[in-house]
């Protein structure tokens, strides 16, 4: 496996893969001055380099992951830490990582290049679209839908049957009790919209 993104998030993704006994052979990174990270070689991305290896984009920023996913010509892998709990009938798409202690309950659908961070919980029948990031200790109750690119902040809670639009930001510790429109930034308990994101 090759990781694209030699940073702190890359360290965590490497640990996830090590728990699965998957060897990370090198990193790709756009910083031309970076040649070594975590004792591994770092290269600028080249489609012909490690062509038979799968890649995970190990960058926390949702928009950067989306942009890079359109450029990378390698196949994408999946990383699930052995301490994560994955229920029955769960679908997890390419490029996604599930970190230490995360819980994904029955019949959840997780899109491509999603981050389910440390000790996050996703309950039954949720749908997470591509490039979503669920931060540490955040909780999605049953039947929640999270649109493309949205970020659920650390410790946030979303009650059942809520729909969160695309490219939203749910502030850390927020409690979401109403549907959230596309591009909204929400904070508080109960969560309220404070502005709209500029990502369109």
pLDDT for 136-179, tens place per residue? 999 999 999 999 999 999 999 999 999 999 999 999 999 999 99
Mean pLDDT for all residues in the chain:
96
Residue 200 confidence class, pLDDT cut points 50, 70, 90: low
Our answer to whether residue 124 is catalytic in this structure is: yes
Domain boundaries, the chain: 2-69, 80-190
Task: State yes or no: 123 annotated in a binding site.
Answer: no
* pLDDT of 189 above 60: yes
Query: Residue-wise over 71-109: b if at least 16 C-beta within 10 A, else e?
Result: ebebebbbbbbeebebeeebebbbbbbbbbbbbbbebbb
Q: What is the CATH number of domain 2-69?
A: 3.40.50.20
Tell the residue number behind the tokens 């591994």, with chain if given. Answer: 40
Q: What percent of the chain has pLDDT over 90?
A: 96
d(CA 74, CA 77): 9
Fold of 80-190: UDP N-Acetylglucosamine Acyltransferase; domain 1 (2.160.10)
Residue among 74, 81, 113, 124 flagged as catalytic: 124
User: What local confidence, expressed as pLDDT, does residue 38 receive?
Assistant: 87
Q: Do domains 2-69 and 80-190 have the same CATH topology?
A: no
Q: What is the pTM of this model?
A: 0.94
Task: State yes or no: 60 annotated in a binding site.
Answer: yes
């Amino acid at each position: 496996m090759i990781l694209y993104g030699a940073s702190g998030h890359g360290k965590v993704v490497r640990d996830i893969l090590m728990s699965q006994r998957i060897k990370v052979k090198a990193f790709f990174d756009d910083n031309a001055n970076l040649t070594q990270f975590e004792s591994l070689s770092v290269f600028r991305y080249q489609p012909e380099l490690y062509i038979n290896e799968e890649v995970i984009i190990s960058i926390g920023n949702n928009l950067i992951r989306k942009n890079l996913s359109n450029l990378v010509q390698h196949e994408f892998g999946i990383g699930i830490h052995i301490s994560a709990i994955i229920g029955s009938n769960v679908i997890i798409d390419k490029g996604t990582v599930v970190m230490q202690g995360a819980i994904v309950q029955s019949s959840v659908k997780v899109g491509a290049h999603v981050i389910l961070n440390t000790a996050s919980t996703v309950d039954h029948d949720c749908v997470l679209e591509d490039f979503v990031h669920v931060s540490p200790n955040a909780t999605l109750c049953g039947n929640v839908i999270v649109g493309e690119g949205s970020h659920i902040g650390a410790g946030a809670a979303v009650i059942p049957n809520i729909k969160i639009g695309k490219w939203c930001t749910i502030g850390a510790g927020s409690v979401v009790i109403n549907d959230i429109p596309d591009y909204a930034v929400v904070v508080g308990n109960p969560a309220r919209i404070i502005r709209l994101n500029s990502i369109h």
